[in-house]
Structure formats: structure tokens, C-alpha cells
Amino acid sequence: LFNNQVWNKDDLRNVSTSSGFTYAVAGRLDKYTYTDNSGSTNLIQDFKKTYIGREGYLEKTSSGTPKAGHEGSINLMKAETTSSYDANGNRTRIEEHVTDARYTPEDHGADVNARYMRFDAEGKLLSKVTGTQSRLLRDSDRTGTRNVIDPSN
């Protein structure tokens, strides 16, 4: 698709901002505030990150919480993204799920969005699987040399 219409700076608008950055040891981003300005009401969510220490620091979790006391964010729900890595530091698993007590999977469908990636020894992506599942993957799901996920649990 080719679009040759000219645009100018007046066509651009700020739809979101991040602010309030707090850094921990070694310059790791610890928390920040995200504001979505795209709708009629601003949505504000605070994020906190945890890390796995290896040669560098790899993001383990990113948790989002609606801004307390902000009326426009009252319907946002707490959520968390969890990541796992292989021995070389390649991100092999990303699972996103709502952690808010108001959320019921019966009303909203599958409660975990997941992406799984496999890499070769040089770090090149071999495959990526994206989908939904009924729960987070657990260590007990690992058997022998392959992973088995029972979707009924």
C-alpha cells in the first residue's frame, strides 16, 4: 500500500507518555507511570519491574496497577507479564495475565495470553507460537526432554 499524501507536524498528536522513572541498582528501571491520552479520559497505570540476575539483568516480571485515586483509571485492571529465558539469555516465554480480583475468566475467556519462542545455538529464532491458555505454565509441566501442557488444568 502506497500513500503519497503529505503530512505535517500539526497532524501529529501525543497519545501516551511515560514519566516518574525510578531506577534501582546498576541503572535498572524499577518503576514508571504510563498515561494514555488517546481517549476522552486519560488512563494512568503504574508499572513495576523485577529482574533475573545473570551476566546482565533480564526482565522477569512487569506488573501494571491502575493509578490509585485517579477516576479515569478505575476500570483498568491489575495485570502482569512474566518472561523466561534460555541459558543464552534469549527470551523463550512471555505470559500475560490479569491479576485483578475483579477479573473472572468465565466472563472474559482465556485468562493467559502466551508467546513461546525457540532459538538455535547462535540465538536465531527458530519458531514462535502465540495463543491463549487457561493458566500459567508451571515447572511441574516439564517432563523429560519436552514440555507437556494440559489445557484442562
pLDDT digits (tens, 9 = 90+) for 26-41: 788 999 999 988 776 7
**pLDDT at res. 5:** 66
Q: What is the pTM of this model?
A: 0.70
8 A C-beta contact, residue 68 and residue 59: no
**pLDDT greater than 70 at residue 67:** yes
pLDDT at 153: 61
pLDDT value at position 108? 64
Confidence check: pLDDT of 58 > 70:
yes
CB 57 within 8 A of CB 50: no
- Phi/psi at 11 (nearest 5 deg)? -80, -15
Residue 137 has pLDDT above 70, yes or no: yes
Q: Does pLDDT of 123 surpass 80?
A: yes
